[in-house]
Structure 1
Amino acid sequence: MYKAFFNLTDNPFSISPNPKYLYMSERHAEALTHLLYGLRDGGGFVLLTGEVGTGKTTVSRCLRQQLPEDTDLAFILNPALSTEDMLASICDAFHLTYPQPVSLKALFDTLHHFLLQNHQAGRRTLLVIDEAQHLMPEVLEQLRLLTNMETDDAKLLQIVLIGQPELQQLLRQPLLRQLAQRITARYHLLPLDLNDVDSYVRFRMQVAGSLQPVFTPSAIRALHRLSGGIPRVINLICERALLGAYAAGCERINDKLLAQAAYEATGVRDEGSTRSVLSFSLVGVLMLAAGWFGWQQWGVLPQPPVKKVSVPVTLPPDANLLKHFDRVIAEADYEDQAMQQLYRVWGFEAAIDEASCDAAQRVNLSCVQEFGTLDDLLKLNYPAVVHLTEEDGREIYAVVLHVADGQADLLLGSERWQVSVEWLNKVWGQGYTFLWQLPESGHTVISKRSGVADVRWLEAAVSQALRLPVRNKVSRFDAQLTDKVRQFQKQEGLVEDGVAGEQTLLRLVIRSQKAVPRLNGRIPAQQTVSNSDEIENTGGDS
């Protein structure tokens, strides 16, 4: 209906795969490079993960197009199979005949013979498994045994596993540690950033015949925010936006029209947040249900139950509580899981292999790793991942959420516990990692070369910190602003260079009154796992 109205020759946002609409963002190209490197390296397994709709199929299609001509390829689309059925499906994909009645040994021998023949003929054999998060552990172990077949310099079979983030968790199981060690290349595909969303929309519109921009810059920003940068969701929203603009007789699509289209296409309303997420579900409903949409809702969300345990100062009145605490402690030994929880405290849902300092700047945060005491952390006043060591040598990673009145709220795994500060100091391991919010531009340095927005942000922040009047229309990093920065740096014991570097910006943000997570304020934590028969629930107040 809208094609003639916008002078289009085709539907630019159809979710059906069409090679002419293939857009390779920088991240997709990087993912492809990682996969090709892993295959050329001769390893057994290569891994590609990403949220639903981020473009894993796009990357796999490009991978197949760039394979050498001497490669035999099998592609498995439905891996939810038993071990025997999986081997049979692989044989079928390679057009191999196998003895009847079917047995595991016969299938394995058939594949072994085929792989040897292929290698002797100078050919390579590649198996690609999509939706690999549905693979059963015993099937994955059988696949690992297939990759045991090798020569002195190469594997007879290489396997590419493509799946959602749950695949990363699956491969962390102790049973699959040998397979995990054989992954020679892995890449987690993140959603598109704002610039890529703009380029993606322009590219598809131009391929469909559009000569003029239809989506305004404000619409692109709203699209990035509401889609989470996921191409499939972008297509859904843009398709509905074009239809809505046609119905309204609008030749340009602005942010209001785009927001309405997003609501109609996905059910997600625009709350006005300016933050993106590391990974977003297809319609964002899961994050909303869990209370993780953004920090603008803080203070509104209900407080989850807190489990109080006074270890090791006094024995809790409930022995079951102590046993449960010990079980939780035993499972809190992964730093990436604790970092994932810290991102959730800030309102972002990070995939487990992206829950690191490296990903922070993508969501306008900065990540700092420090060594110091609990008192040092309290001066910073930010929630942090802390490395704790118990008397028996067990190492624990927890998120310190709140400290007051001799008590500290911790996130251990997915549960929230209240412990004594005395116990926390005893097991303190010195190291901690915290996040803080960068200026709107995401820049970590503001100097004379910075833009007007950064300069005005700095003028407001440093003036408020020094209790001086804020100049509302300052447009450049002038001598007066330089003097204010130096005065603040002197007050904080920093190098007085008049340039707002990362340490200066951090101190300014710490002293601001912005509603961000603080150790001295209540922070909504992820909903806790509780069992009324074992856990003493004390409600939201501690």
Structure 2
Amino acid sequence: MYLYHFGLTQLPFTLTPNTSFYLGLKPHTEAFAVLLTALKTGEGFIKVVGEVGTGKTLLCRKLLNEIPEHFVTAYIPNPYLNPDELRRAVASELGVKQAQRMSSQLLNQRIQERLLALHQKGHSVVLILDEAQALPEESLEALRLFTNLETESRKLLQVVLFAQPELDQRLATQQFRQLRQRITFSYQLRPMTSLEVEQYVQHRMQIAGYKGEQLFTRSLCKKLTKASKGIPRLVNVLCHKMLMLAYGEGRHQLSAKHLVLAAKDTEDAHVSGWQKLGVYLSAALILLTTTLISWQFLGEV
């Protein structure tokens, strides 16, 4: 791989969400501030929505790592669960013993008892669901009923939903108007700007141990922003491929050509007309050069 070639200690552009690479860019800083503020209010649902690859899972993990100590969290990373499975998953996360064996009625009672016990000890309980757009309709309703559990002054359970825009489309229907009205705080993650992409790329390279001259120039980052549409996951994919291409050529500098080739090889990446033309011209030039060399060789024979 290209680690030694570029003097890196670890891969800078992996797709696995890693909080050690977290950079407090404006959209993520704002979203995190909304989450903490909303949790302090102690009421209702909190929703963070963003397109695929905008950093929702990374933000979710940062929240789990840095949530204030008095919070008890129940984390459901894969919410494609029916209502009974969802209740049992929440019960297990909250430490309810033998949650998988007891009847549904007893399970509901044990969950409420556990929430009350935690409340009496001064804890606030928050249920965090990643990929919440995958929740079945019946489970969305079960989730709403969870938040009916309350004391005279405070909800016993708050819910944080990290989801793709499909969740908003579902919540906009008449069927989910009650749940929609309980969402007290909401934030929409946006793609990165070209300046943010530049900061993001340099930050990840620095964390990965790079100490050389700047590989991703401002001009290249502007093109990278257009090719990736400002989506962090696509930025990671393209940067990884660019570094691989440069390594394969034995080069220590990156160029627009590397970006074009990386974008052409990446699903969902944007390749503009002039970039496509550049790829075709490069291929044609290589073919022409090869042909001329072949003719010259045959002529000499």
Same fold by TM-score, threshold 0.5 exceeded? yes
Distance 1:100 1:170, change over 3 A: closer
**Counterpart of 1:224?**
225
2: CA distance, partners of 1:176 / 1:108: 22
Distance 1:139 1:36, change over 3 A: same
What amino acid does structure 1 have at the position aligned with 2:267?
T
SS at match of 1:5: helix
SS at match of 1:46: strand
SS at match of 1:270: coil
Which ranges in structure 2 are unaligned for 5 or more consecutive residues?
Answer: 276-301
1: CA distance, partners of 2:22 / 2:99: 42
**Counterpart of 1:135?**
135
What amino acid does structure 1 have at the position aligned with 2:173?
Q
Deviations 1:62-96 (A, max 9, x none): 21233221211110012111111110111111121
**Counterpart of 1:207?**
207
**Counterpart of 2:174?**
174
Kept after mapping to 2: 8 A contact 1:48/1:186: yes
**Counterpart of 1:262?**
263
2: CA distance, partners of 1:101 / 1:261: 51
**Counterpart of 2:111?**
111
Normalising by structure 1, we get a TM-score of: 0.49
What amino acid does structure 2 have at the position aligned with 1:121?
K
Shift, 1:269, TM fit: 5.8
**Counterpart of 1:242?**
243
SS at match of 2:3: coil
Greater Cα offset, 18-27 or 234-243: 18-27
Distance 1:31 1:252, change over 3 A: same
Distance 1:264 1:93, change over 3 A: same
**Counterpart of 2:60?**
60
Kept after mapping to 1: 8 A contact 2:19/2:62: no
Kept after mapping to 2: 8 A contact 1:53/1:232: yes
**Counterpart of 2:144?**
144
SS at match of 1:266: coil
SS at match of 1:96: coil
**Counterpart of 1:70?**
70
**Counterpart of 2:41?**
41
Kept after mapping to 2: 8 A contact 1:79/1:131: yes
Which residues in structure 2 correspond to 1:382-461 (within 5 Å)?
Answer: none
Kept after mapping to 1: 8 A contact 2:19/2:61: no
SS at match of 2:6: coil
What amino acid does structure 2 have at the position aligned with 1:210?
Y
Q: Over the residues paired in the alignment, what is the CA RMSD in angstroms?
A: 1.9
2: CA distance, partners of 1:114 / 1:19: 31
Kept after mapping to 2: 8 A contact 1:37/1:185: no
SS at match of 2:266: helix
1: CA distance, partners of 2:31 / 2:37: 10
1: CA distance, partners of 2:77 / 2:93: 11
Kept after mapping to 2: 8 A contact 1:259/1:269: no
What amino acid does structure 1 have at the position aligned with 2:123?
R
Deviations 1:495-532 (A, max 9, x none): xxxxxxxxxxxxxxxxxxxxxxxxxxxxxxxxxxxxxx
Distance 1:273 1:89, change over 3 A: farther
Distance 1:128 1:202, change over 3 A: same
SS at match of 1:156: coil
2: CA distance, partners of 1:182 / 1:267: 35
Which residues in structure 2 correspond to 1:352-391 (within 5 Å)?
Answer: none
SS at match of 2:108: helix
**Counterpart of 1:97?**
97
Distance 1:116 1:214, change over 3 A: same
Shift, 1:28, TM fit: 0.3
What amino acid does structure 1 have at the position aligned with 2:231?
I
2: CA distance, partners of 1:153 / 1:247: 63
Which residues in structure 2 correspond to 1:335-346 (within 5 Å)?
Answer: none
Kept after mapping to 2: 8 A contact 1:128/1:160: yes
Distance 1:100 1:250, change over 3 A: closer
Shift, 1:267, TM fit: 6.8
Shift, 1:22, TM fit: 1.6
**Counterpart of 1:164?**
164
Which residues in structure 2 correspond to 1:464-475 (within 5 Å)?
Answer: none
1: CA distance, partners of 2:220 / 2:76: 39
1: CA distance, partners of 2:100 / 2:202: 55
1: CA distance, partners of 2:99 / 2:268: 52
Which ranges in structure 1 are unaligned for 5 or more consecutive residues?
Answer: 275-542
Kept after mapping to 2: 8 A contact 1:216/1:255: no
Higher relative contact order (Cα pairs below 8 Å, separated by 6+ residues): 2
SS at match of 2:72: strand
Kept after mapping to 1: 8 A contact 2:132/2:167: yes
1: CA distance, partners of 2:60 / 2:159: 12
2: CA distance, partners of 1:93 / 1:79: 13
Larger Rg belongs to = 1
Distance 1:273 1:150, change over 3 A: farther
What amino acid does structure 2 have at the position aligned with 1:148?
N
SS at match of 2:127: strand
What amino acid does structure 1 have at the position aligned with 2:45?
F
1: CA distance, partners of 2:166 / 2:5: 43
Distance 1:68 1:253, change over 3 A: same
Q: State the number of aligned residues.
A: 274
Structure 1 or 2: larger strand share?
1
**Counterpart of 1:122?**
122
Deviations 1:393-447 (A, max 9, x none): xxxxxxxxxxxxxxxxxxxxxxxxxxxxxxxxxxxxxxxxxxxxxxxxxxxxxxx
**Counterpart of 2:82?**
82
1: CA distance, partners of 2:182 / 2:99: 31
What amino acid does structure 2 have at the position aligned with 1:104?
S
**Counterpart of 1:316?**
none
Shift, 1:33, TM fit: 0.8
Shift, 1:16, TM fit: 2.4
SS at match of 2:7: coil
Greater Cα offset, 22-31 or 10-19: 10-19
Shift, 1:268, TM fit: 4.3
Shift, 1:101, TM fit: 5.5
2: CA distance, partners of 1:51 / 1:273: 27
Identity of aligned residues (%): 40
2: CA distance, partners of 1:104 / 1:180: 26
Distance 1:273 1:113, change over 3 A: farther
What amino acid does structure 2 have at the position aligned with 1:75?
Y
2: CA distance, partners of 1:107 / 1:47: 27
What amino acid does structure 2 have at the position aligned with 1:130?
D
